[in-house]
């Protein structure tokens, strides 16, 4: 008994040291990797929200020219490539100075995204997993919308577990704004809500009318304006897709819980945009919940020396393929464990 307590304390100490070292490594990399501006990819969102608050369209040519003058990035030529509800959601932050708004944006995203460890409170090594997943670091470093929207996915899953109907409904209404991250999870939330708690559907409809219906009242032509911007976005951003071969990822994760299947489907169905695109696969590692998951997540850092190349094949090789291999081995381990359990003799219960 005493040896068990000592071993447990030693394991906790080693785990805390590992977490501390990983946090320090994150901070060092965050400071070492050069960034064009302090705002990163958040700036076009911030600019779009400020443009909307000024009573103008973030999709206009004037807004595009102003963005290109203020944001020294080649991606500025994309303009504001998001649905108008995103500008509405970010509008409160647009009232702040840009630096303060960026800090609040990052805090919201980090708090929500790192809450993923609460999905596996039974696994002691869960806090290590997010720190080992390079797409999460890249989403934080680039101040990406993907960071906050992955956080909304985590919030949706936690709200479904705790049966908070209004929070679930809010997430369902917001997640389609970034369909590459949240569309399938929004549908999942609706199905779960319909089957388990119909109030979720009511809240989702109410928030949906407020966000999506309100956007049409504010700017009735925004959908056509947004669709007109998308070809320009596709021209500026080189996106790669391995569909339908990427469906192998969905197949090898199908033995895992539904959130992991949906995360795999999100990554498989949508084009690869950047290093942060595979971020939802963190849910796959959480569902595996073993040392194999830690190894698969850690392998993603092999991409770091090639980060500036933007190589889609390397992203698949260092991030998606290890998850596929890990999920396949996890399935084999669980099948073998089930066979051993069935083959074990039925021993009589002790006194």
The string of pLDDT tens digits covering residues 144-184 is 999 999 999 999 999 999 999 999 999 999 999 999 999 99
Q: Which residue has the tokens 């033995």?
A: 255
What is the Cα–Cα distance from 180 to 81, expressed in whole angstroms?
13
pLDDT band at 348 (very low <50, low <70, confident <90, very high): low
Residue 347 has pLDDT above 50, yes or no: no
Summarize pLDDT for 294-316 with one digit per residue, the tens.
999 999 999 988 877 767 888 88
Can you give the pLDDT at residue 8?
A: 59
* Residues ≥6 apart with Cβ < 8 Å to 350: none
Across residues 1-17, what is the average pLDDT?
67
pLDDT band at 350 (very low <50, low <70, confident <90, very high): very low
Residue 209 has pLDDT above 50, yes or no: yes
Across residues 317-346, what is the average pLDDT?
85
Print the SS3 string covering 11-59.
HHHHHHHHHHHHHHHHHHHHHHCCCCCCCHHHHHHHHHHHHHHCCCCCC
Can you give the pLDDT at residue 345?
A: 56
Across residues 107-118, what is the average pLDDT?
96
Q: Can you read off the two tokens belonging to residue 106?
A: 């990052």
Can you give the pLDDT at residue 242?
A: 76
What is the Cα–Cα distance from 63 to 299, expressed in whole angstroms?
41
pTM: 0.92
Across residues 48-72, what is the average pLDDT?
94
Query: Which of 85-89, 132-136, 315-319, 342-346 bottoms out in mean pLDDT, i.e. has the lowest?
Result: 342-346
pLDDT band at 101 (very low <50, low <70, confident <90, very high): very high
Summarize pLDDT for 75-88 with one digit per residue, the tens.
889 899 999 999 99
Summarize pLDDT for 173-193 with one digit per residue, the tens.
999 999 999 999 999 999 999
Across residues 117-127, what is the average pLDDT?
89
Q: Can you read off the two tokens belonging to residue 305?
A: 């020396």
Residue 120 has pLDDT above 80, yes or no: yes
């Amino acid at each position: 008994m005493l040896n068990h307590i000592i071993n447990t304390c030693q394991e906790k100490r080693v785990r805390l040291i590992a977490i501390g070292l990983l946090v320090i490594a994150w901070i060092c990399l965050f400071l070492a990797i050069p960034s064009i501006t302090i705002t990163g990819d958040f700036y076009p969102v911030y600019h779009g929200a400020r443009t909307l608050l000024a009573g103008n369209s973030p999709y206009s040519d004037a807004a595009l020219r102003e963005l290109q003058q203020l944001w020294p990035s080649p991606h500025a030529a994309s303009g504001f490539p998001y649905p108008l509800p995103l500008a509405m959601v970010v509008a409160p932050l647009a009232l702040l100075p840009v630096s303060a708004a960026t800090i609040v944006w990052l805090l919201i995203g980090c708090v929500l995204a790192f809450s993923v460890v609460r999905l596996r409170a039974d696994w002691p090594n869960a806090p290590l997993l997010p720190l080992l997943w390079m797409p999460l670091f890249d989403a934080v470093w680039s101040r990406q919308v993907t960071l906050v929207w992955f956080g909304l996915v985590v919030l949706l899953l936690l709200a479904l577990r705790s049966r908070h109907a209004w929070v679930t409904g809010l997430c369902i209404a917001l997640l389609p704004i970034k369909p590459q991250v949240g569309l399938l999870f929004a549908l999942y939330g609706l199905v779960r809500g319909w089957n388990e708690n119909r109030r979720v559907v009511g809240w989702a409809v109410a928030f949906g009318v407020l966000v999506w219906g309100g956007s049409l009242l504010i700017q009735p032509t925004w959908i056509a304006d947004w669709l007109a911007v998308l070809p320009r976005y596709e021209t500026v951003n080189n996106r790669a897709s391995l569909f339908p071969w990427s469906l192998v990822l969905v197949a090898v994760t199908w033995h895992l819980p539904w959130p992991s299947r949906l995360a795999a489907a999100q990554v498989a169905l949508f084009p690869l945009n950047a290093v942060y695109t595979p971020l939802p696969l963190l849910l796959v590692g959480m569902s595996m919940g073993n040392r194999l998951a830690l190894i698969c997540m850690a392998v993603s850092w092999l991409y770091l020396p090639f980060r500036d190349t933007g190589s889609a094949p390397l992203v698949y090789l260092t991030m998606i393929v290890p998850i596929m291999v890990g999920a396949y081995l996890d399935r084999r381990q669980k099948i073998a464990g089930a066979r051993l359990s069935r083959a074990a003799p039925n021993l009589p219960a002790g006194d």
